[in-house]
Amino acid sequence: MNIKTVKTKAEKIEFVLEDTTIGFANALRRIMINNVPTMAVAYIDFQQNSSALFDEIISHRVGMIPLTYPVGKFDLVPPGTEDVSSKNQVVFALEKTGPCIVTSGDLKSSNKDVQPTSPDFPIVELLKGHSLKFEAVAHLGLGKDHARYQAAIAAYDYSPAPKEGPVKTEPTAFRFRVESVCGLGPEQVVTEAAKIMEERTTELKQAAVKM
């Protein structure tokens, strides 16, 4: 199996995966979308909200803001766990008074290594006399559980592209297009997905030996 990088950008990568099967290519694609852990805000405790938006709308907007984070420094814990610590969650605080536009740059993180990927994501506009104050808790999660944790948009087609007419042979090369929608770079998403595939293969081999 070989990988040839075709094109890279800040948030996108294209590569060709050779000497493999459709099943393997699709498994890699699904893992990049659903199973690479990412950091996102899971819930918010509002102390004050006199803006024009309901708490639920603001929670949704904040939850979809991608966050940078150091890979391997946080534990992935089941949703609803009571064993919380700085190893599995980060708290963001926000307090603003209008008139202003509240953005992701106004979120103050309890961990300097976990920040919004951009300070310019708009959250809500506060008019004169309006105020907003809350604490938001972020932790690792998986895209298969909620869209806010989706790591990437990933797709592939045959390489080279098939000509018109019936395909008589099984394709063995696939051109991937991966766009990161989280705090990881696209190369990191691919690398983490490959690690997860390797771990699952090892677990399957160990289980097969015990049969």
Q: pTM for this structure?
A: 0.85
10-54, pLDDT tens digit by residue? Answer: 889 999 999 999 999 999 999 999 999 999 999 999 999 999 999
100-145, pLDDT tens digit by residue? Answer: 999 999 999 999 999 999 999 999 999 999 999 999 999 999 999 9
pLDDT score recorded for residue 211 = 75
Q: In CATH, what class is 2-35+151-209?
A: alpha beta
Q: Which CATH number fits domain 38-146: 2.170.120.12, 3.40.50.2000, 1.10.3720.10, 1.10.940.10?
A: 2.170.120.12
Question: Does residue 178 have a pLDDT over 90?
Answer: yes
Closest CA to 90 of 40, 56, 134: 40
Question: Does residue 165 have a pLDDT over 80?
Answer: no
In which residue are the tokens 């690690």 written? 195
Residues 15 and 6: their CA atoms lie apart, in Å, by: 5
